[in-house]
Structure 1
Amino acid sequence: MTRAIIFDFDGVIADSEVLSNTVLAEIVTELGVPTTLDDAYRDYMGKRFHDVVAAIETTVGRSLPRSFAEDYQDRTLTRFRQGLAPIAGVKEFITTFVDLPRCIASSSSPDRLAVCLDVLGLTPLFEGRVFSASNVARGKPHPDIFLHAAAEIRVAPADCIIIEDSAGGVVAGRAAGATVIGLLAAGHIREGHAATLKDAGAHYLAADYAAVDAIVRGLLAA
């Protein structure tokens, strides 16, 4: 049996949710609806960009200007280039399990993923194995992106270990038939998130990559 590790990206490889949701909160506030960082987490985090746009239009009660997507992308990528950091321990974890097939399956756009991987110096570790929900019919919590990723790396979904930080991602991973580890290591994690991931169906919870390492070793030995 060949095992593989499928990584979500934001909050699992890159500690990016604080930065991107801060930009969203600023933009929605500028559009006339005061929005906090926690509001942005609740309403927009983990969604495909198309769904984020729809949610913001509902919030502000009107269509967004045509320039919205480009403005948001430019502001977010500028923030990433200034201060994006990896989740602590992720590089060492990838190196430890470098012989296992691995890939990224994310709700973020291909362009954003490419910039972030370059900023973090991780591009060579995922060359040709970065998959975006923009390439499938349905985003998380549907399993489409994980089924697509498993097919691309030629490992059965049941043999994949998915590392996720969001409830929607956990639901998607379970629906794909994979083993799901809920990771609680990112800067956006709030009190009660462990229970949220457990309720969503996470098979395991990990506070950091040391805990993920131990879980993966146990799964490989089983």
Structure 2
Amino acid sequence: MGALIFDFDGVIADSEAIANTVLAETVTKLGHSTTLDEALTRYSGRRWDEAVAEIEAAIGRPLPSDFSGQLKLATLDRFRTDLKEVSGATDFIRRFGHVPRCIASSSSIDRLQLCLSLLALEAEFGSHVFSADMVARGKPHPDIFLFAASKLGVRPNQCLVIEDSAGGIRAAVAAGMTVVGLCAASHIREGHDLKLRDAGAVHLAHSWSDVERFALRFFNG
């Protein structure tokens, strides 16, 4: 039958715009005026150490030692009030409830568990929620996807991955999986679909209905 592997932020949870808004507000308070679009351009999709270096260069001094921890707390607080699903995600997940599935995300387990609870999706994935913290290398390396396939007991070439980032798509392609690039969340900007295509997405979807049509062909073909 194969399996569905979901990235989380920007795929199931419409969280990227929220997280980057909080980041922009935080950097602005440090003295470097930053908009949401600027935060998305400068920091989104990068390794956190690279983003930190970029912020420090922008503000002209080292960040406070508790910067990352305080930013995480502020982001989780904003999720508690503002987080919504990417429109259509829950319907898709339940429609394909017969297909083995999991989450394979770069986010921490505590963040994933909170967001799944807020979206009332904990029961849909159970223990099949995997973080890059569980493997040696994060995306764009294939480790998290290979780990997920092994936990689901399926071969990589039987997996359909839903991703919204170029790094995640490169990771899934490196794992030997088929990847749909989803451009449906509120952080998506013009030209993002082309980046996903260049990264190796075999199909670009602008809604979960688009994903559904491709998934039906993948699992029934």
TM-score normalised by L of structure 1: 0.94
- 1:72-111 paired onto structure 2 within 5 Å: 72-111=71-110
- The answer to whether the 8 Å contact 1:46/1:107 transfers is no
Deviations 1:48-86 (A, max 9, x none): 545543443344344322221221111101110111000
Matches of 1:132 and 1:159, distance apart in 2: 21
Q: Which residue of 2 aligns with 1:19?
A: 18
Report the more deviating stretch, 3-12 or 139-148.
Answer: 139-148
Matches of 1:109 and 1:47, distance apart in 2: 16
Are 2:36 and 1:37 equivalent residues in the alignment?
Answer: yes
Change (3 A) 1:153 1:214: same
Count of aligned pairs between the two proteins = 221
Question: 1:32: Cα distance to partner?
Answer: 2.4
Q: Which residue of 1 aligns with 2:203?
A: 204
Question: 1:43: Cα distance to partner?
Answer: 2.6
- The answer to whether the 8 Å contact 1:49/1:108 transfers is no
Question: 1:38: Cα distance to partner?
Answer: 1.6
Report the more deviating stretch, 97-106 or 68-77.
Answer: 68-77
Q: Secondary structure at the match of 1:131?
A: strand
Q: Secondary structure at the match of 1:188?
A: coil
- The answer to whether the 8 Å contact 1:57/1:63 transfers is yes
Counterpart residue identity of residue 132, structure 1: S
Change (3 A) 1:192 1:123: same
Report the more deviating stretch, 74-83 or 136-145.
Answer: 136-145
Question: 1:156: Cα distance to partner?
Answer: 1.2
Q: Secondary structure at the match of 1:19?
A: helix
- 1:23-172 paired onto structure 2 within 5 Å: 23-47=22-46, 49-172=48-171
Q: Which residue of 1 aligns with 2:219?
A: 220
- The answer to whether the 8 Å contact 1:47/1:140 transfers is no
- The answer to whether the 8 Å contact 1:137/1:144 transfers is yes
Counterpart residue identity of residue 215, structure 1: F
Change (3 A) 1:51 1:99: farther
Report the more deviating stretch, 143-152 or 13-22.
Answer: 143-152
Q: Secondary structure at the match of 1:92?
A: helix
- The answer to whether the 8 Å contact 1:103/1:129 transfers is yes
Deviations 1:127-158 (A, max 9, x none): 11111112222221111111111112111111
Report the more deviating stretch, 102-111 or 36-45.
Answer: 36-45
Change (3 A) 1:35 1:5: same
Report the more deviating stretch, 154-163 or 58-67.
Answer: 58-67
Counterpart residue identity of residue 174, structure 1: V
Q: Which residue of 1 aligns with 2:184?
A: 185
Deviations 1:106-143 (A, max 9, x none): 11111111111111000111111111112222221111
Identity in percent: 54
Report the more deviating stretch, 145-154 or 86-95.
Answer: 145-154
Q: Secondary structure at the match of 1:6?
A: strand
TM-score normalised by L of structure 2: 0.94
